[in-house]
Structure 1
């Protein structure tokens, strides 16, 4: 298993950050691992909703089939997906309002036999991607 996380304070209200975070038509503008949604983003943002995403991790393309596991508007979005080589990926976005600013935390987890072979590199690459994504997200909403 490889666990990753990143956190940043964004100088915008949680609702504004949430709107950008869940605007799947512009996901690639801030999410540094995202390459495309082959069938479009989620049709409905609801628990149990599914979508496919093409990503790039450690320079390698990967298609992940996501399911929305937890959703609280302007607070939490948790998704779990199945990727190549039986790797399971979990991502949780948590927004903590602080007046006119928001702390955004992203937690990720990778599990599966293939992960143990490259856990260190995967952790470093994914952590860097999370920090870059938060930097870009902050730039889009402030």
Structure 2
């Protein structure tokens, strides 16, 4: 399993950050690997909601179906699945003096023959983690208006 985690502060309170990140269609704005992320179904964003995500990382395109598996005042868990991988994105948001502290963790588990890519994946995903932290910080801070 490949795990990448980043903790950073933003100038936006948790009550703005959590609903924004729980709607995974916003991944197009903050995730540098996401090409498109389209909600499947309708209704409120709640546990069980799902999105079709297309990503391109290191020149390789992949599609996963993400499901919102946990949603609380300070924690979001989204799990993306396809035949070759499971991606679990856990986002914890806590109040900070000037906004929020965000901890973003992505755990990627390769399945079957794709497991041979795991060592290379760690290097690629560490860089992607840095890029995601930068883009996510900028995007969330822009929500302040």
Using structure 1 for the length normalisation, give the TM-score.
Answer: 0.81
The Cα of 1:119 is off from its aligned counterpart by 3.0
2:96 to 85, 93, 98: 98
1:33–1:129 Cα contact (<8 Å) kept: no
Q: Which runs of 5+ in 2 are unaligned?
A: none
- Match of residue 124 from structure 1: 126
Distance 2:70 2:141 in 1: 26
Question: For residues 127 and 51 of structure 2, what CA distance do their matches in structure 1 show?
Answer: 24
Q: Which residue of 2 aligns with 1:3?
A: 3
* Cα distance, 1:129 vs structure 2: 3.0
Q: CA deviation at 1:117?
A: 4.6
Larger RCO: 1 or 2 (CA < 8 Å, sep 6+): 1
The match for 1:77 is 76
| Deviations 1:34-74, CA, capped at 9 Å, x for gaps | 2112x43663322222221111222322111112221114x
> Given that residues 9 and 104 in structure 1 are in contact (C-alpha distance below 8 angstroms), is that contact kept between their aligned partners in structure 2?
yes
* Deviation string, structure 1 residues 82-109 (Cα, Å, up to 9, x no partner): 13x5111110111011244100110011
Query: In 2, distance between residues paired with 1:138 and 1:68?
Result: 20
Separation in 2 of the partners of 1:26 and 1:47?
A: 16
Change (3 A) 1:98 1:25: same
> Is there any run of 5+ residues in structure 1 with no aligned partner, and where?
none
For 1:41 and 1:117, the matched residues in 2 are separated by: 33
Q: 2: distance between equivalents of 1:42 and 1:114?
A: 35
The two structures, once aligned, show a CA RMSD in angstroms of 2.3
CA distance in 1, matches of 2:116, 2:84: 8
Residues 41 and 17 from structure 1, CA distance in 2 versus in 1: closer, same or farther, beyond 3 angstroms?
farther
